[in-house]
């Protein structure tokens, strides 16, 4: 395992690969309800730690609140002492300043620990940053430090560069967590944001290095580019090495959900390093991102922040099917997948949160929740027009250029 500096204010080094605990392995109960496979989750997390991963990232809301509990169990038996444990304050639940200590104590209990190594404001954007300022929440974080409940604090982020810069300039942060990968260089915090935060000594942790798994599944065109590259790697390795290549990056988080994935990522991490990719290799990724950009019509990362939907619409699944059609051009298969989703409220009773786009009632409850700023109801309408109707994809999703 490679270890990397955590900016200038955190004294320890983090493993290049961090374990993101939002996509633990799941199993089906009664044939359709997906639950976390706790034993397997604990096994793969401990395996990663045994093989050098020392950074474990969870959050209040992951797996409907279960992630922190499972992480707490996994870190028993001496594992807690081997890792830097990170979780996040659920900003959408914070109403008064004292909520910071209240949630922190609740999370410590779930995690079965007496302190957090890093505590992050979860998902800061323009609105949530306003709340941080209005309620003086940085001061509340400082109080947690004095009480010995946390060692360091920072924020995770979903918005644009202007907002990111404003937040970075607000405080001498110890860490931040941003979405960055070879397709997101100009979106979210952007490469400028990565450089800006690192330049101010903030440890930069990267999430979504595979853009919600999208970069792991190349189209035929992308595959051909990789096949002709001067170096042979899997699409996952290409994407991860791109992130590790930047010296500004402290570590990347992978939401690992299978043992094989953990093993592969450990191997990728062991060969990682800043400045390792040649100009030719970076050019390969430039070509690949041009192809992906044209094909991925909906920038959904399957984070599930928009879920559950009161009408039972399986929002990320609907978007994944449409994207799969736009990248692989197999309309018949996409329509078949779409038809498997629940078509009516009655069907939803047997398959919760498995509804097709057509069931969206436009209640607008999901709108504020999407970190990718997707117009969810409007996009679902287009998905249904293409996959449930006869509207051509080019008409529903016209190309910008």
> Kind of pairing, strands 116-124 and 84-89?
parallel
Which of 71, 198, 277, 360 is in the footprint of ligand SF4 by CB under 6 A?
360
**Cβ of residue 353: shortest distance to ligand SF4, in angstroms?**
10
| Candidates 38-46, 81-89, 300-308, 324-332; binding stretch for ligand SF4 (CB under 6 A) | 300-308
Contact between 358 and ligand SF4 by CB under 6 A: the answer reads no
Among 98, 192, 361, 395, binds ligand SF4 (CB under 6 A): 361
363 binds ligand SF4 (CB under 6 A): yes
Q: Does 219 bind ligand SF4 (CB under 6 A)?
A: no
364 near ligand SF4, judged by CB under 6 A: yes
- Where b means 16+ CB within 10 Å and e means fewer, 232-241 reads ebebbbbbbb
Distance of CA 3 to the CA centre of its chain: 21
Per CB under 6 A, 311 contacts ligand SF4? yes
How many amino acids of this chain bind ligand SF4 (CB under 6 A)?
28
> Is residue 159 within the footprint of ligand SF4 (CB under 6 A)?
no
Q: Exposed e or buried b for every residue in 184-208, given b needs 16+ CB within 10 A?
A: bbeebbbeebbebbbeeebbbbbbb
Closer residue to ligand SF4 in complex, CB, 238/305: 305
Helix, strand, coil shares of the chain as percentages rounded to 5?
A: 45, 15, 40
Query: How far is residue 378 from each of residues 159, 294, 296, 364, 387, measured CA to CA in Å?
Result: 20, 20, 17, 10, 14
Per CB under 6 A, the segment of 152-160, 162-170, 261-269, 358-366 that binds ligand SF4 is: 358-366
Question: Site mask, ligand SF4, residues 371-390, x = CB under 6 A?
Answer: -x-x-xx--x----------
Minimum CB distance to ligand SF4 smaller for 159 or for 237: 159
Query: 336 CB contacts (<8 Å, ≥6 apart)?
Result: none
Give Rg (Cα) of the chain.
Answer: 21
Residues in Cβ contact with 230 at an 8 Å cutoff, skipping those fewer than 6 apart: 278, 280, 281, 284
Specify the residue, 276 or 362, whose C-beta has the smaller distance to ligand SF4: 362
Binding residues for ligand SF4, rule: CB under 6 A, are 300-306, 309-311, 313, 315-316, 319, 360-366, 369-370, 372, 374, 376-377, 380
């Amino acid at each position: 395992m490679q270890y990397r500096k955590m900016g200038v204010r955190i004294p320890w080094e983090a493993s290049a690969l961090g374990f993101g605990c939002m996509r633990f392995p799941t199993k089906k109960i009664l044939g359709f309800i997906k639950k976390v496979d706790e034993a397997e989750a604990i096994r793969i997390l401990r395996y990663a730690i045994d093989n050098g991963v020392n950074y474990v990232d969870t959050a209040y809301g992951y797996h409907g609140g279960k992630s922190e509990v499972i992480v707490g169990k996994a870190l028993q038996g001496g594992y807690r002492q081997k890792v830097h444990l990170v979780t996040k304050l659920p900003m959408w639940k914070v109403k008064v300043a004292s909520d910071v200590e209240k949630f922190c104590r609740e999370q410590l209990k779930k995690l079965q620990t007496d302190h957090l190594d890093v505590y992050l404001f979860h998902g800061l954007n323009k609105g949530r940053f306003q709340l941080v300022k209005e309620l003086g929440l940085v001061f509340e974080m400082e109080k947690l430090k004095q009480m010995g409940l946390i060692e360091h604090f920072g924020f995770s982020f979903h918005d644009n560069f202007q907002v990111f810069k404003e937040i970075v300039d607000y405080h001498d942060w110890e860490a931040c967590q941003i979405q960055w990968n070879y397709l997101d260089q100009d979106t979210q915090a952007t490469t400028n944001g990565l450089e800006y935060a690192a330049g101010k000594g903030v440890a930069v942790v990267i999430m979504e290095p595979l853009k919600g798994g999208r970069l792991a599944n190349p189209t035929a065109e992308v595959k051909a580019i990789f096949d002709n590259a001067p170096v042979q790697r899997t699409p996952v390795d290409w994407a991860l090495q791109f992130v590790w290549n930047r010296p500004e990056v402290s570590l990347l988080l992978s939401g690992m959900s299978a043992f094989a994935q953990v093993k592969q990522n450990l191997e990728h991490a062991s060969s990682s390093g800043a400045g390792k990719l040649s100009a030719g290799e970076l050019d390969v990724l430039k070509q690949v991102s041009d192809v992906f950009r044209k094909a991925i019509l909906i920038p959904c990362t399957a984070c599930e922040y928009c879920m559950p939907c009161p009408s039972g619409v399986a929002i990320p699944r609907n978007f994944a099917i449409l994207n799969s059609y736009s990248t692989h051009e197999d309309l018949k298969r996409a329509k078949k997948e779409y038809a498997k989703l629940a078509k009516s409220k009655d069907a939803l009773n047997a398959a919760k949160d498995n509804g097709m786009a057509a069931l969206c009632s436009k209640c607008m409850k999901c709108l504020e929740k999407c970190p990718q700023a997707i117009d969810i109801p409007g996009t679902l309408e287009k998905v249904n027009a293409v996959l449930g109707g006869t509207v051509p994809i080019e008409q529903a999703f016209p190309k910008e250029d």
